[in-house]
Amino acid sequence: MKYIPYGHQSIDEEDINAVVQVLKSDWLTQGPNIEFFEKALCAYTSAKFAVAVANATAALHLSCIALGLTSEDYLWTSPITFVASANCGLYCNAKVDFVDIELDTYNIDVDVLEEKLVFAEKNGKLPKIVVVVHFAGHSCKMEAIKKLSMRFGFYIIEDASHAVGGEYNNVKVGASVYSDITIFSFHPVKIITTGEGGAALTNNVELYDKLKKLRTHGITKNVNEFVNVADGPWYYEQVDLGYNYRMTDFQAALGANQLKKTDRFVQKRQEIFAYYVRSFAKYDIKLPTIRDNVVSALHLFPILVDAKRRREIFEELLRLNIGVNVHYIPVYKQPYYQRLGFPKCYCPNADQYYACTISLPIYASLPEEALAFVVRSLSTFYECNVAV
């Protein structure tokens, strides 16, 4: 069997043509397709504003700056995430801390969050920002988190890198109903892709203006924002310290075309999800949970197996050319974070999850034979090697 990765893009002729068309046009970097893609993101999610950027990490970084995160502040996030959800705090020289996960969705545990906030309030160490991660595409308990943010006064960034196309309380993730900013990633393994790419969505016009300026060096060409009188028609001002975090116009054209297919992609993932659940229900495997008020975008299919056999199962699947993966090593275990002083076993649930988890392949373009092979391979392992 040909190597089966855990995630893969789904690109068709229409996507290719969309990119080629832009390559033949006058605009290669940020041009009309950026605005078109941003409008399409707003229409799809019902967020008021969207800012397309180079990648989700850049979107997280700019969001932290736009929300005013400094070296005086704390940023909290989940330990079961890609390192970028935490690194964005360090980019701003803020202090980063982790809130343990719940063991059904593997998202940030709202009760643990509340306890930690009560304690932090007493010590005067409340976070300025909490980055909640919709792990595997399943939304966090946003209503409860929003309530806590009003009680304790912190900003909320939704890291929805996994959750493009997902829903919470019948509203698309990205609408930012319960948060200040929502982040999307368009990396090829995610739900839709632009190669590299990301976006920040918000309903707050001030944040939107800041994000847009920060994406291009902190430069404005808007006369109303000028500090000084314009020298002439060429004039622009740098009013903030921003970055070059722009997305190219051909990436945006790809993104807009991919976005049209989001619901179809998620539906394909749902079919794969259902097939896995049916196939593995009889084995001693913990399968992902989906809450009633959530449509998960199903970026990942993490299973939990006996910790003592995880490595053996992982290696056996890898030997069969199945590109299993582990999402994620708790961020505080990374050497860089260890140097910042985090204990090796900082969050018990995250540690327990990490000891058992394996991500199985799931993506819209996963061929049926490949899916059947994954199911057969893991089933065979359980039939032959594990006493049930």
**Residues forming the site for ligand PLP (CB under 6 A):** 55-57, 81-82, 84-85, 133, 159, 161-162, 185, 187, 198
Nearer to ligand PLP, 97 or 159 (CB): 159
Which of 178, 207, 15 shows the shortest CA–CA distance to 110? 178
Nearer to ligand PLP, 126 or 362 (CB): 362
List the structure tokens of 334.
């990374």
Nearer to ligand PLP, 88 or 148 (CB): 88
CA dist 298 → 6, 139, 184, 190, 344 (Å)? 12, 10, 14, 10, 29
Q: What is the DSSP code string of 247-285? A: PBHHHHHHHHHHHTTHHHHHHHHHHHHHHHHHHHTTSS-
Tell me whether strands 129-133 and 74-77 are parallel, antiparallel or unpaired: parallel
Quote the least distance from Cβ 349 to ligand PLP, whole Å: 18
Task: Note the maximum CA span of the chain.
Answer: 80
Quote the least distance from Cβ 359 to ligand PLP, whole Å: 12
Quote the least distance from Cβ 187 to ligand PLP, whole Å: 4
Quote the least distance from Cβ 81 to ligand PLP, whole Å: 5
List the structure tokens of 304.
């939990």
Quote the least distance from Cβ 10 to ligand PLP, whole Å: 17
Sheet-wide strand order for 129-133: 49-53, 198-202, 181-185, 155-159, 129-133, 74-77, 95-98
Nearer to ligand PLP, 190 or 285 (CB): 190
- The answer to whether the beta carbons of residues 332 and 90 sit under 8 Å apart is no
Distance CA 139, CA 135 (A): 7
Residue by residue, what is the 3-state secondary structure of 302-318?
A: EEECCHHHHHHHHHHHH
Q: Distance from CA of residue 183 to its chain's centroid? A: 7
Nearer to ligand PLP, 200 or 313 (CB): 200
- The answer to whether the beta carbons of residues 20 and 202 sit under 8 Å apart is no
Nearer to ligand PLP, 161 or 176 (CB): 161
Quote the least distance from Cβ 374 to ligand PLP, whole Å: 21
Quote the least distance from Cβ 88 to ligand PLP, whole Å: 9
Nearer to ligand PLP, 55 or 176 (CB): 55
Determine the 3-state secondary structure of 109 from DSSP: coil
Quote the least distance from Cβ 55 to ligand PLP, whole Å: 3
Nearer to ligand PLP, 131 or 378 (CB): 131
